[in-house]
């Protein structure tokens, strides 16, 4: 393994990808440049420098480097000679899918044109279903850390698109691993795989830990199970640094709007502002262990800082029903929900307790799944003990942050990151 730090993120345009890119840039996986004096010395004497001296130069300039690169006055010089500093350029690269409209709303605040100076983030077109493309990107970027977050990540949609889900979420991981080997980087790269609590499906024990047997309940979970095991197999077969993060649900204001938490918080904001009347949901009694995505990407990063690869559960250790999430979300805009009708049936509805004629929540069986995961509750003890990681956002705070963000977005006082660019 090398000291050079270059990260490659698949799925960088998604919820987790955007938080992770922020985190890595913050942690200094950014372009670093030498002090001006050392750059000048190097430029003047570069023809006399052999390989060895170049390395010494790089070591000392990195070591001594004050943050001159943050001063715009030095940017033209640094930019002109950046290739001399390549070895300690520390970068974040991301793979984005080609789309007819912009799909980079979640990372726009991080992205700058690569012709600018001080660029921190580099994007490449690619797809987990295209092996040649992945080999090309990995061979040219030569990452030291890969975070494989790309996936068709919606459980309900995976029942409609099982074949594509298997290709992207299952075989896509195999393509990534083989691309690393084809590029000859199997001893250089640390690889994180976005595994999931959906693997536990019809749970075999409560709470679920790294040793709980899997029982996947959707095409999504079955594809992720293939991914989990191919990763373990390559780890054992080729001694690669490959780690599965078995992450329980994690949410945020950047969550896709068809996942239940964000669907609820968007609807609450729109109902509060009089833009919608009713929220239609499926199974209100499903229980999930919901944390905040910002905390979970820190856990991913910690896993790849370990010398030895392993598999870890990240979870809060608390579980809540969808129903509870609905009640708390409405409470944040001053609405108390009263449930009426037979619980667990399509007859059940949630009304405004102060005006029972207002039906705010209805059950629509279109949102039921052919096979459901009823209860998820994680045991994050191993991550706490080995990585020092804990989930630090309480459930109430998570719900509040999401409702406030959506309310601000609906009122137009905060931007909508998914809105198409003009
Ligand atoms: P997300 O918001 O749905 O993001 C998925 C990302 O994958 C997007 O950037 C998407 O690109 C990209 N993608 C989809 N298909 C692709 C393909 N064929 N090739 C390359 N990229 C592709 O998901 P997330 O919540 O950030 O989750 C990140 C990862 O963690 C996923 O693998 C998910 O399955 C897994 N996971 C999530 C949770 C959770 O609670 N959030 C829990 C456990 C595991 P577009 O933007 O172009 O669609
Ligand atoms: O559903 C129920 C639904 O779609 C949560 C993904 O990130 O986490 C996520 O998968 C629960 C389920 O997430 C609606 O039946 C009720 O029981 O928000 P969700 P998920 O299926 O748990 C795991 C860990 C991942 O790995 C996945 O990538 O809520 N539910 N009514 C509903 N769900 C949705 N989406 N929409 C409803 O109207």
What would the pLDDT profile of 262-276 be if each residue is shown by its tens digit?
A: 999 999 999 999 999
What mean pLDDT comes out for the span 205-226?
A: 98
Whole-number Å distance between alpha carbons of 308 and 242:
9
CA atoms of 268 and 335, how far apart (whole Å): 9
Query: Residue 26: what pLDDT?
Result: 84
Q: Which residue in the block uniquely carries the two structure tokens 């029903």?
A: 321
- Assess whether pLDDT exceeds 60 at residue 203: yes
pLDDT of residue 119: 81
Between 422 and 317, name the one with better pLDDT: 317
Residue 72 pLDDT: 54
Count of Cβ atoms closer than 10 Å to residue 219 Cβ = 24
**Contact assessment for residue 176 and residue 39, using Cβ atoms and an 8 Å cutoff:** no
Please give the structure tokens belonging to residue 311.
């598999």
Q: What is the pTM of this model?
A: 0.89
Looking at 265-307, which runs of residues are DSSP E strands?
Answer: 279-281, 287-288, 291-292
State the Cα–Cα distance between residues 371 and 306, nearest whole angstrom. 37
Give the mutation target among 225, 246, 260 for probing the ligand 2 site: most ligand atoms within 8 A of CB. 260
Question: Which of 41-50, 198-207, 366-375 bottoms out in mean pLDDT, i.e. has the lowest?
Answer: 41-50
Regarding the beta carbon of 14 and ligand 1, being less than 6 Å apart is answered yes
52 burial via Cβ count (<10 Å: 0-12, 13-18, 19+) = exposed
Q: Which atom of ligand 1 is nearest to the CA of 246?
A: 43
Pair of tokens at residue 347? 């007859």
The pLDDT of residue 32 is above 50: no
**Strand ranges across the sheet with 349-352:** 279-281, 355-363, 349-352, 337-340
pLDDT at residue 410 tops 50: yes
Residue 69 has pLDDT above 80, yes or no: no
- Could you give the residue ranges of the DSSP H alpha helices within 124-259? 131-141, 155-160, 162-165, 172-182, 219-238
Residues in contact with ligand 2 (CB, 6 Å cut-off): 153, 155-156, 196-198, 249, 258-261, 263, 281-283, 286, 288, 322, 367, 369, 372-373
Average per-residue pLDDT for the chain: 89
> What are the tens digits of pLDDT across the range 115-131?
887 788 999 999 999 99
pLDDT at position 86 is 36
Ligand 2: which atom is nearest the Cα of residue 322?
29
Give the model's confidence band at 59: pLDDT under 50 very low, under 70 low, under 90 confident, else very high.
low
**Alpha-carbon distance 14 to 11, whole Å?**
6
Tokens 């059940």 belong to 348
Measured distance CA(148)–CA(30) in Å, rounded: 20
- Position 64 scores a pLDDT of 45
Number of H helices, E strands in the chain: 14, 15
Phi, psi of 227 (to 5 degrees): -60, -45
Please choose from 13, 14, 220 the residue to mutate so as to test ligand 1's pocket, defined by most ligand atoms within 8 A of CB.
14
The pLDDT value recorded for residue 52 is: 63
Query: What pLDDT, on a 0 to 100 scale, did the predictor assign at position 89?
Result: 38
Question: Which pLDDT score, from 0 to 100, does residue 114 have?
Answer: 78
**Secondary structure element (H or E) that encloses residue 21, with its range:** helix 15-26
In this predicted structure, the answer to whether residue 34 has a pLDDT above a threshold of 50 is no
Site of tokens 């820190």: 298
Percentage of residues in the chain with pLDDT exceeding 70?
83
pLDDT score of 351 more than 60: yes
Active site residues: 196, 198, 220
């Amino acid at each position: 393994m090398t000291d050079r730090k270059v990260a490659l993120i698949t799925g960088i345009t998604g919820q987790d990808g955007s938080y992770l890119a922020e985190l890595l840039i913050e942690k200094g996986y950014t372009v670093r440049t030498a002090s001006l004096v050392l750059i000048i010395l190097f430029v003047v004497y570069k023809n006399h420098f052999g390989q060895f001296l170049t390395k010494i130069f790089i070591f000392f300039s990195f070591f001594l480097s004050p943050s001159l690169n943050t001063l715009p006055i030095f940017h033209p010089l640094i930019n002109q000679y950046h290739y001399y500093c390549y070895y300690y350029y520390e970068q974040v690269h991301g793979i984005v899918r080609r789309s007819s409209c912009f799909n980079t709303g979640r990372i726009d605040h991080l992205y700058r044109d690569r012709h600018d100076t001080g660029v921190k983030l580099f994007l490449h077109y690619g797809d987990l279903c295209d092996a040649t493309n992945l080999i090309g990107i990995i061979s040219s970027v030569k990452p030291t850390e890969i975070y494989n977050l790309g996936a068709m990540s919606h459980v309900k949609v995976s029942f409609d698109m099982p074949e594509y889900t298997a290709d992207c979420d299952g075989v896509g991981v195999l393509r990534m691993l083989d691309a690393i080997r084809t590029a000859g980087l199997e001893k250089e790269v640390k690889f994180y795989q976005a595994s999931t609590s959906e693997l536990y499906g019809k749970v075999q024990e409560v709470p679920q830990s790294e040793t709980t047997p899997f029982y996947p309940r959707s095409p999504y979970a079955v594809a992720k199970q293939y991914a989990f095991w191919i990763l373990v197999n390559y780890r054992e077969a080729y001694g690669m640094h490959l780690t599965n993060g078995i992450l329980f649900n994690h949410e945020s204001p950047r969550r896709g709007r068809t996942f239940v938490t964000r669907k609820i918080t968007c609807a609450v904001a729109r109902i509060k502002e009089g833009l919608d009347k009713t929220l239609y949901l499926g199974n209100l009694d499903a229980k999930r262990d919901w944390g905040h995505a910002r905390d979970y990407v820190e856990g991913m990063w910690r896993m790849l800082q370990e010398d030895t690869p392993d598999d870890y559960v990240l979870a809060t250790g608390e579980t809540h029903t969808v129903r509870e999430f609905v009640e708390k979300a409405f409470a944040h805009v001053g609405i108390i929900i009263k449930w009426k009708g037979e619980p667990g049936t399509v007859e059940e509805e949630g009304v405004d307790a102060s005006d029972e004629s207002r039906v705010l929540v209805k059950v629509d069986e279109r949102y039921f799944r052919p096979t459901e995961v009823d209860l998820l509750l994680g045991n994050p003890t191993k991550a706490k003990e080995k990585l020092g990681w804990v989930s630090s956002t309480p459930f109430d705070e998570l719900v509040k942050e999401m409702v406030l963000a959506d309310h601000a977005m609906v009122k137009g006082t905060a931007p909508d990151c998914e809105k198409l660019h003009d």
